[in-house]
Chain A
Amino acid sequence: MSTSELIGAPAPAPTRTALPGTFLASELKLVLRRRRNLGMLGVLVAAPIVIGLALRASSSSGEGDGDAPAFLGEVAGNGLFLGFSGLLLLMPFFLPLAMSVVSGDSIAGEASAGTLRYLLIVPAGRGRLLATKYASCVLFGLITTVLVVTSGMVTGAALFSAGDVTLLSGTTIGFGETLWRALLMAGYAAVLLGGLAAIGVFVSTLTEVPVAAMATVAAIPVLSQILGLIPQLSWLHPWLLTDTWSVFGDFLREPIMTEAIGRGLLTHAGYAVIFLSFAWARLTMRDITS
């Protein structure tokens, strides 16, 4: 006679019945429904539009600028470049800021609301919760970068001409290839944000005050970029988080220059492994007292 028969409560033995993605979908929805996150997403998507309008206003007054950074000079010739410009301009600060907020909030937000204890009683499982939170951060990053590129390309095409793109190496590629390159750039940017997200989730396990976690994480890319400017620290530069954050131009060569990009993917995978391990160690050993 089973235990449940003995006491008369028909509690079925736990079996794995839910689809593996159910929890992740639910967490991602939670991130995307949050008004604060939607606001940040809206601002990021609006940024290329604002840049496009500003360029349009200045180019119609005849002040083209050939030395402009981040392909801005190319945008007047081919509006699709605005998608690339958007990523490059937002990558140093605003995209990581958004990721700092989402990843810093991931565990600390649940702890401060007290919902962490209820998730663990469900039981969500500490490792599984961490993996799900991290995955939802990474997906949020991917959605953001794809939307930024899309917004830039659509705005650029609407305000300027759109056509075949002449790459930095001189080769010309068609629309399909341009879209593919844009997607690769968005994906690469998402990987960069994924490296930061791992740090963010770790910091988030350290505190019950989400704002403290967010601020700490937001400071990390800034600090890293400052260190990257100090020549005396050149030995450190290849290991800095932000060392490969500005190599988007390499996607616009034929063939794609993979050296820096590959190094970027590797270092960020390294950051992810290290900080997720720390986060796992911290979360699985911690007493949940909130």
Chain B
Amino acid sequence: MTSAIATSALTKRFGKRTAVDVIDLDVPQGSVYGFLGPNGSGKTTTIRILLGLAAASEGTVHLLGERMPDGASAVLPRVGALVDGPAFHPYLSGRDNLVRLDAADRTATPADRRRRIDAALERVGLAAAAGKNYRAYSQGMRQRLGLAASLLRPRELLVLDEPTNGLDPQGTREVRHLVSEVAAAGTTVFLSSHLLSEVDQMCTHVGIMRSGALVAQGSISTLRSALATRLRIDTRAGDDAAEVLRRFGLRNVAADSTGVTGELGGAVPEDVVEELVKSGVPVRQVIIERPGLEELFVSLTGEGFDVDE
């Protein structure tokens, strides 16, 4: 099965600055792929190249099996996209903006245009404000209209660049629901975000960008399993507890004033606790710390999650 998006050694240079540095994206069909990275790490530039808006300096892009940008006219009608925020004509209504975009698509059928536009507006909760001028829209409504534009036709791939930008918590939840709905219908979703929690909640796969390079890529469960689960015991007898943990083969055991932690490895937590109690270690609390994306990110980059240069 071909990948929905596949790039090979994709590179983009602006003068001396390398914005995208030899990345090999592989987005499996049917996945919800989170393209994660701090602001300025090259996500939007990559998306622009994927969609044929910008030319790659080196490397190749295949979208739904078609070589880009040569196959743009054949493949882009099957792709919906939201890139770098919504953009519409301010003096046209939301609906007229969608009519205009649909009229630009020579492969769209005008006969059911109204129905498709109404359905898209309904889907993003914008039906009531469809007749208002775009300039009167709030940031959240603009974002919704951008999503509606990407859903004007059934798509095989949705590319959503920061889809929850500017949305309130309710809107964010609705987008999450929308993404899962679209994904359930079989559409591959490629969504970029700088919000770890967002990707954690929505995605099956993740690619992590850092300063233009793709530092990690794979299914979330695979990436997570590469990280060690840690066992934390809160106790005032830290040294005794550490002794027990070492006996069970836990690695990197470290004691501090409130307790002790160690990498669980193959040990069974229940057995460890039983042994602790038998050894007379007073256990106040036992926590199994499964690494989240945040820990994953830090472990991969050795850095925090700030704006890239």
Residues of chain A whose beta carbon lies under 8 Å from any beta carbon of chain B: 3-4, 6-12, 14-20, 22-23, 25-26, 30, 33-35, 113-115, 117-125, 128-129, 285, 287-289
Contacts and interface: CB of A to CB of B under 8 A. Distances in A.
Contacts, number: 129
Contact of B156 (A3, A18, A35): A3
B29 A7 contact: yes
A18 B52 contact: no
Contacts of A17: 106-110
Q: Which of B72, B87, B188 has the most CB of A within 10 A?
A: B87
B29 A6 contact: yes
A107 to B, nearest CB: 14
Contacts of A124: 104-105
Chain B interface mostly helix, strand, loop or mixed?
Answer: loop
Interface string B110-128: 1000000000000000000
A7 B28 CA distance: 11
B230 to A, nearest CB: 38
Interface in B15-70: 29-30, 48, 51-55, 64-65
A59 B148 CA distance: 61
A117 B84 CA distance: 10
B77 A14 contact: yes
Nearest to A22: B103
Interface stretch (B88-96, B264-272, B300-308): B88-96
Nearest to B79: A121
B128 to A, nearest CB: 23
A19 B105 CA distance: 10
Contacts of A35: 91
B45 to A, nearest CB: 9
Q: How large is the interface on B (under 10, 10 to 19, 20 to 34, 35 or more residues)?
A: 35 or more
B103 A125 contact: no
Contact of A11 (B72, B90, B99, B153): B153
A282 to B, nearest CB: 14
Nearest to B72: A123
Contact of A9 (B85, B110, B154): B154
Nearest to B109: A17
5 contacts: A8-B185, A8-B186, A12-B154, A118-B88, A118-B149
Given A114-B85, A115-B89, 13 more contacts: A7-B29, A7-B187, A9-B156, A9-B185, A14-B107, A18-B108, A22-B106, A30-B89, A113-B89, A114-B87, A117-B87, A121-B79, A121-B83
Contacts of A288: 48, 53-54
A26 B29 CA distance: 35
B101 interface: yes
B87 A115 contact: yes
B76 interface: yes
A124 B83 CA distance: 16
Given A7-B187, A122-B76, A287-B54, A26 B103 contact: yes
Given A18-B106, A113-B88, A289-B54, A9 B187 contact: yes
A173 B64 CA distance: 66
Interface in B234-283: none
A9 B155 contact: yes
A163 to B, nearest CB: 45
Contact of B88 (A26, A115, A129): A115
B54 A18 contact: no
B235 to A, nearest CB: 52
A288 to B, nearest CB: 4
B226 interface: no
Contacts of A12: 154
Contacts of B92: 30, 33
A6 B187 CA distance: 11
A34 B154 CA distance: 32
Interface in B167-199: 185-188
Contacts of B101: 118-119, 122
Given A26-B99, A123-B77, A287-B53, A113 B87 contact: yes
B103 A11 contact: no
